Structure 1
Amino acid sequence: MRKTEAKSFVASYLDAWNEGNAGSVTDHLCSEGHYIDEVLHEDMTRETLFEALLDYFQSDQYFYEVMGDILCSGTTIAFQYCAKPLEPGKHSSPWHGAEFITLSGKSALEIRDYYQLPKERALNGTGKGRYVKSGLNQRGMGELLANLEQVMQREQLHLDPDLSLPKLAEHLNATVNHVSQAINAGLQTTFFDYVNHRRVDEALRLIQLDAGPHRAMLDIALAVGFNSTSTFYSAFRKVTGVTPGAYRRRVARRA
């Protein structure tokens, strides 16, 4: 990789952070890419990183800039950065970090982030600030989760293949940050896993009712909100431990 290409990638990547745009940041990862927060020991996919950044950008605002040279060797880029608070007095001091990026084509296959927070933030144990100042207490979380269950049952939102966290928050008349916190902290799962679990539950019901000529698995996948058989099979196996075909055969044997 040429140094000009490495500089261009880093500039675009940090611009996305400085714009507070979760989608633009995650767009720098390829579809199989991972972002690894070495301080919190979190390994995030594009989807989980997107959720974390929605929370982060609502609670913290910094300006990120490169410190020193951008190093590149083969498909690897390394650089140091400084994060400066945009609101003087909100946080007492800047903090520093370093990222190591492995590229696959023009996107990142892996981003490893090492950083050192100011003492006052490190003592909070918040890392880069997930759910800081969200304002959602345990009672509020319980009420939001109850509303979530009612809305999902009544409106069957998981069947919408374009359902997103912001769209769900709009249906719940809540902030994206609060909905994300309720699902992650209250249900101990991610938005994507939560939605996919409900979709798989509906697929199980359809397979059990499929007594006549079998519907194609693609038809079932599309009917419950998946966009492809590959994502359907992956989610189905994650929830049930078996493939859709194996589950269908199990149902047929019991009939």
Structure 2
Amino acid sequence: MNAQQQFVQTYLEAWNDHDPSGVASHLCADGLYCDVPNQTQLGGEELLAHLIDYFSNDHYRYELIGDVLVNQNTMAFQYQVIPLETHSGAQGWSGAEFVQLRGNVAQQINDYYRVPGAQSRRDGLSEEGRRYAKSGLGVEAMEQLLSALQKAMDQDKVYLDPELSLPRLADKLGCSVNHLSQAINAGHAMSFFDYINQFRVTEAAQILRQKDCQFPAILDVALSVGFNSTSTFYTAFKKATGETPAKYRRGAQ
């Protein structure tokens, strides 16, 4: 049994043993467990506290479905969750996890799942999550797509295009819209717009820090980095920095 298979085996065993510490120990010290459908991220201590509460009412068994897909420092696997008491009326669900490894522990675990009735710690499933569980996009292909995506951001700065959309970016990268959405959700645990806006906000912050800024109006800054409106820019900027663009500019100069 290789290290990745061992990781999955002990990880699922910890779930089946209702062992919060055992599950959380699969994350490195600064690792993150990302509940993609609920758009939440938990560090080790947060995950531990969450699981202590969850396991107090957990009556399920967790089983691996199919093979563990491995490529260098990433892996993916599907699982199913089965009620321990079939007469209780509880329903099981299925899901998939995409894991970024650092040595023998996880740097990040992105979890996608389907929960009938949304009666568990996992309250529903995003469309991206359903697509991931059924998609033919493997780990290696996803890594290649994420690499091409990063290049498009860093070198081509496609986020500066105010007309950029998920279909338009997918066409540029030569992939399907579904696969691009899946890769962004799995690799970065965020939506397409949040992913693009983080680059726009970073670019805007660099402009606002300049003492001889060529854009005196906030709207001009917003438009220069790809935003279509001041309100959208303000919302994204404050979400990322905790400050409005105007306050950030005053503090930087």
Taking structure 2 as the reference length, the TM-score comes to 0.49
TM-score (norm 1): 0.49
